[in-house]
Amino acid sequence: MQGKRILLGVTGGIAAYKAADLVRRLRERGAEVQVVMTAGAREFVTPLTFQALSGRTVRTGLWDTAAEAAMGHIELARWAELVLIAPASADSLARLAAGRADDLLATLCLATQAPILVAPAMNHLMWTNPATAANVALLEQRGIRRLGPAEGDQACGEVGPGRMLEPLEIVERVQALLAPRGALNGLRVLITAGPTRERIDPVRFVSNRSSGKMGFAVAEAARAAGAEVVVVSGPVALATPPGVRRIEVESAADMLDAVMKEVAGTDIFISTAAVADYRPAHPPGHKIKKVSEKLALEMERTVDVIAAVAARPDRPFVVGFAAETENVEQNARAKMLKKNLDVIAANEVGHDKAFDCADNELVVLWRGGRRELPRAAKASLARDLVALIAELYAEQGRRGAESTGGRDSARA
């Protein structure tokens, strides 16, 4: 983070004391830190503390005559390479969601083009309140990234989600976001993850055991490799990786709709989601009562998301996943050829394999070869897979350029 310009917004909450350590750790990594405090934050920690740690005069007000003589809030908004709000109180999240601009920090967030990260900190009931949940979802849809919160003991004496992440963990995530770009620098990657749910009636659904962990690990690895990453996720209990935009869906039809809205301009599409192959054909609008010993459901095929992407005239580089219980490599290769995929990553699944596990192993197939990725933690495996995808994508681009006499032809 040497020389990176980070604007740290500190809002009102007892976790504001942690922000002092956060400034110190950011400075240790070589970052320049400019602190902006809200009125609430100044009730917990003095500006002098942050001035001593950052080496910069702390900005506290939108109506500072000296600072605003040259439109200081715009200058700060342009100066920042990253805006980090830590702690981010429930009030600050609501103000960001509403687009308020009546204090310095909120105004800066509206005026900056830099990425914005928020590290929430509040009582667990405030965090789980539907109003806060709606505000957070809206901010994430707009591309504002969330770090945490963690779960544990709180200053009020209660226990639950709402603790601000520890400063060192926040710094690690910030450093990953600001790290030099890698093999996917400048590319747009669209990823599907998790299961889908197909409605039986208003209270029941058909689904599968996918946790989404592999897909989210791939999303994090692709972002670390420099890509702009969008993940379309079914229902999972996972935090969005830093720097990744998340779209939440429920059914296979929802996933198809979201993917088709996002796929234009995508360079690489990676389908890790366990999308339902079938759905109930005629789900009623009321709960099915238990009136007989047996219940027969008529099922119909869902639209194949990855096949629909691969069939587009402007198709991206398409990577599929195959979860098989037998003849893994044979079935995966048949799926790759049938659906016209560029690459497929296959793994064996079953009672104690892949699903709900922290590790996995893959056989990656493409028309010109295969590579085994040995069993490893899913985060490590995802990094190896993304590196291989980047290699194969670049190789396809080179072949395309050669076949067209050097013209740029990276996409399939």
Looking at every residue in the chain, the average pLDDT score rounds to 87
Q: Is pTM beyond 0.95 here?
A: no
User: How far is residue 168's CA from residue 25's CA, in Å, rounded to a whole number?
Assistant: 7
pLDDT in tens, 105-141: 999 998 888 889 999 999 889 999 999 999 999 998 8
Task: Considering the domain delimited by 5-178, tell me its CATH architecture.
Answer: 3-Layer(aba) Sandwich (3.40)
| Opening angle at CA 194, ends 190 and 196, nearest 5 | 105
pLDDT in tens, 300-324: 989 899 999 999 999 999 999 998 8
pLDDT in tens, 23-41: 999 998 889 999 999 999 9
Q: Which of 52, 71, 110, 156 is catalytic?
A: 156
Band of the pLDDT at 407, cuts 50, 70, 90? very low
User: How far is residue 391's CA from residue 410's CA, in Å, rounded to a whole number?
Assistant: 12
Helix axis angle for 90-98 and 130-141, nearest 10°, is: 50
Q: Is 214 exposed, middle or buried (0-12, 13-18, 19+ CB in 10 A)?
A: buried
Top-confidence range, 42-51, 63-72, 275-284 = 42-51
How much is the pLDDT for 49?
93
User: How far is residue 12's CA from residue 44's CA, in Å, rounded to a whole number?
Assistant: 7
156 is catalytic: yes
357 pLDDT higher than 80? no
How much is the pLDDT for 405?
55
Same fold, 5-178 and 188-403: yes
DSSP states of 245-270: EEEE--SHHHHHHHHHHH-TT-SEEE
Give the mean model confidence (pLDDT) for residues 202-224: 88
The single residue listed with the structure tokens 């946790």 is: 211
DSSP strand pairing (82-88 vs 268-271): unpaired
The single residue listed with the structure tokens 């008529």 is: 298
Strand order from edge to edge, sheet including 268-271: 244-248, 228-233, 188-193, 268-271, 317-324, 343-348, 359-366, 369-377
Give the mean model confidence (pLDDT) for residues 231-240: 91
If we measure between CA atoms, which residue out of 256, 232, 255, 229 comes closest to residue 243?
229
How much is the pLDDT for 34?
94
188-403: what fold? Answer: Rossmann fold (3.40.50)
The full set of domain ranges for the chain reads 5-178, 188-403
